[in-house]
C-alpha cells in the first residue's frame, strides 16, 4: 500500500488568522493525508526544520498579513540551502493577484486565494506531489 502523503501546514510570521490553515489541515486529514500543524508565529527557519524533521512531502503556508513577499521566498531559499528542494511548497491567504507571478517564479507551486475549495487543494496535492 502507498504511504500516505505527509503535509506540514504552517503559519509563518506574526499573523494570527489561522481559520484557513486549520480548515485546510482538517480537510487534508479527512482526505487521508498525514498532517502536522505548526501553530502560530513560526519563523522560516522553524518551518524548514520541522518539515525536514517530519519528513513531509509538502509544506502549505497561510498568510493574511501581507508579509508573503518576504516570508514565502525565505522558506524556499532555506529549503534549497538544506538540499530539501524536493519538498513542494504551496501557499494561501490574502495574496494580491499582482504578487502571484513573482511568488511562483520564486518556487511556490500553487497559490490558493479566498474562495478556493479544499477539494481543489486536495486534488492539486495528489496530482503534483512527487513520490
Partner 1 sequence: MFDKEKFEQLKEARKNWEEKDLNKSLSRSPERKEEFKTGSGDIVERLYTPEDIDDLDYMEEIGLPGQYPYTRGYQPTMYRGRLWTMRMYAGFSTAEESNKRYKFLVDQGSTGLSVAFDLPTQIGYDSDHPLAEGEVGKVGVAIDSLADMEILFDGINLEKVSTSMTINSPASVLLAMYIAVADKQGVSPEKLRGTIQNDILKEYIARGTYIYPTEESMRLITDIFEYCSKNVPQWNTISISGYHIREAGSTAAQEVGFTLADGIAYVEAAIKAGLDVDSFAPRLSFFFNAHNDLLEEVAKYRAARRLWAKIMKERFGAKKPQSMMLKFHTQTGGSTLTAQQPDNNIVRVAIQTLAAVLGGTQSLHTNSKDEALALPTEDSVRIALRTQQIVAHESGVTNTVDPLAGSYYVEAKTKEIEDKAMEYITKIDELGGAPRAIDAGYIQKEITDAAYKYQMDVEKGDVVVVGMNKFKVTEKAPQGLLKVDPMVGEMQKKKLVELKEKRDNQAVTEKLTALKKACEGTENVMPYIVEAVREYATLGEICDVMREVFGEYEQSVML
Q: Which residues sit at the interface with partner 1, rule CB under 8 A?
A: 13-19, 22-23, 25-27, 29, 35, 37-41, 43, 65-67, 69-71, 94, 96-98, 113-115, 117-119
For partner 1, the closer CB: 78 or 83: 78
**Cα(first)–Cα(last) distance of the chain, in Å?**
13
For partner 1, the closer CB: 126 or 130: 126
- DSSP symbol at 87: S
Reported as type and span, the H/E element at residue 37 is strand 34-37
Residue pair 71/44 in contact (Cβ under 8 Å)? The answer is yes
* CA–CA gap between residue 108 and residue 75 (Å, rounded): 10
Nearest approach, Cβ of 128 to partner 1 (angstroms)? 21
38 Cα distance to chain centroid:
11
For partner 1, the closer CB: 49 or 69: 69
For partner 1, the closer CB: 32 or 39: 39
Nearest approach, Cβ of 85 to partner 1 (angstroms)? 22
Nearest approach, Cβ of 111 to partner 1 (angstroms)? 12
DSSP, collapsed to helix, strand or coil, labels residue 126 as: helix
Amino acid at each position: 500500500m502507498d504511504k500516505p502523503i505527509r503535509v506540514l501546514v504552517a503559519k509563518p510570521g506574526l499573523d494570527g488568522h489561522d481559520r484557513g490553515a486549520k480548515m485546510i489541515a482538517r480537510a487534508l486529514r479527512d482526505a487521508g493525508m498525514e498532517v502536522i500543524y505548526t501553530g502560530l508565529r513560526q519563523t522560516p527557519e522553524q518551518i524548514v526544520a520541522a518539515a525536514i524533521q517530519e519528513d513531509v512531502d509538502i509544506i502549505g503556508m497561510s498568510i493574511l498579513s501581507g508579509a508573503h513577499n518576504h516570508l514565502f521566498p525565505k522558506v524556499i531559499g532555506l529549503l534549497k540551502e538544506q538540499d530539501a528542494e524536493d519538498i513542494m511548497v504551496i501557499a494561501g491567504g490574502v495574496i494580491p493577484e499582482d504578487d502571484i507571478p513573482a511568488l511562483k517564479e520564486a518556487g511556490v507551486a500553487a497559490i490558493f486565494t479566498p474562495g478556493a475549495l479544499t477539494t481543489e487543494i486536495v486534488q492539486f496535492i495528489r496530482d503534483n506531489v512527487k513520490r
